[in-house]
A = this chain, B = another copy of it.
Amino acid sequence: MRDVAQLAGVGIKTVSRVVNGEPNVSPATAERVRQAAASLHFEPDLHAGNLRRADRRSRTLGLLVSSVANPFAAQVHRAIERVAIEHGYAVLAASLEDDPDAELRAVTALARRRVDGFVVTPVRDDQAYLRLHVERGTPLVCVDREPHGIETDTVVTSNVEGARDAVRHLLAHGHRRIAFLGDLERIQTAGQRRQGYLDELAASGIDVDPALIVLGLHDDASATAVARRLLTLPDPPTAIFSGQNLVTIGAIRALQQLGLEHDVALVGFDDVETSDLLKPRVTTVSQDADRIGRLAAERVFARLDGDTSPPRHLVVPTRLVVRGSGEIRAPLAAPADVG
């Protein structure tokens, strides 16, 4: 910058003014400065400026997700990036892989880089430690899961309602023995989806068979194994509600292996790529990742713009996408037990 000033024959502050588009520079001077800057390939150092700048904004957002390679997280990321760009922001993303320590490390790494705001998918049991950053003026928005130990803006999927929709849909097709396959219990959304499943069955006065509820499934292999076991029970379920997309894939594989894919109904929570191409096509409760990301980013910028209203808890509805597998009807009920 000093070099640019020298070459343009002006003071360093004038260069600063031109670079930042500040007023009170004669067009002629401005032009000379621009020429000089271009010829020296000058790129202002954003971080150096921040040191002294009034707003002290790094124009960078920090994003913590399960994994940038996870399709849902990646879509949320893209949506956040879109909003960020509009505001002249860049996004620093970190993958946590559900590791509580990684959450801490990532927050520290991003804090040292002085991100202006955090969008976090909580992993730890307690996010109270993040209060510090919020108090220091770095807004925090939690996505996908609710944080613990801190009151802050959140944007989550309507997990309970979505699960209820799925189960209601299966009930409407005559099913009474509906299995639930869920992710690890410590993952909040898994618990909520199970809750929706239980709520809807309760609301319909259906007795729950605990044998049909399995949690702790985190990949498709274990889901396949469990689904096979349930489907070969003496009194098997006539429908399956799977609570996560890898689990859905596992369930499909089990159904295919047993040749039951056209006989046992299936509704999966969260989309399965190319679910359109399968036979039958898979009915899913799909999440609006794009909207979640967009809302989260908008919340961050609202806070950066000085919004001090109470924390907002946004719930993004799911959509039941009817494609075929969920509309398989239950076989005629066996005669009621008469003892």
Contacts and interface: CB of A to CB of B under 8 A. Distances in A.
Contact of A47 (B41, B109, B114): B114
Contact of A112 (B41, B46, B74, B91): B46
B95 A113 contact: no
Nearest to A71: B71
Interface in A84-120: 90-95, 108-114
Interface stretch (A210-218, A231-239, A275-283, A316-324): A275-283
A110 B90 contact: yes
A304 interface: no
Interface string A48-84: 1011000000101000000111110011011001000
A51 B114 CA distance: 14
A63 to B, nearest CB: 10
A309 interface: no
Contacts of A273: 71, 272-274
Stoichiometry, as copies per complex, reads: 2
Interface residues of A, number: 47
Question: Which of A93, A252, A272 has the most chain B CB within a 10 Å cutoff?
Answer: A93
A209 interface: no
Contact of A108 (B43, B68, B114, B252): B43
Contact of A113 (B47, B70, B81, B253): B47
A249 interface: yes
A110 B43 CA distance: 10
B109 A81 contact: no
9 contacts: A46-B114, A47-B50, A60-B92, A68-B77, A68-B93, A69-B75, A71-B71, A91-B92, A252-B274
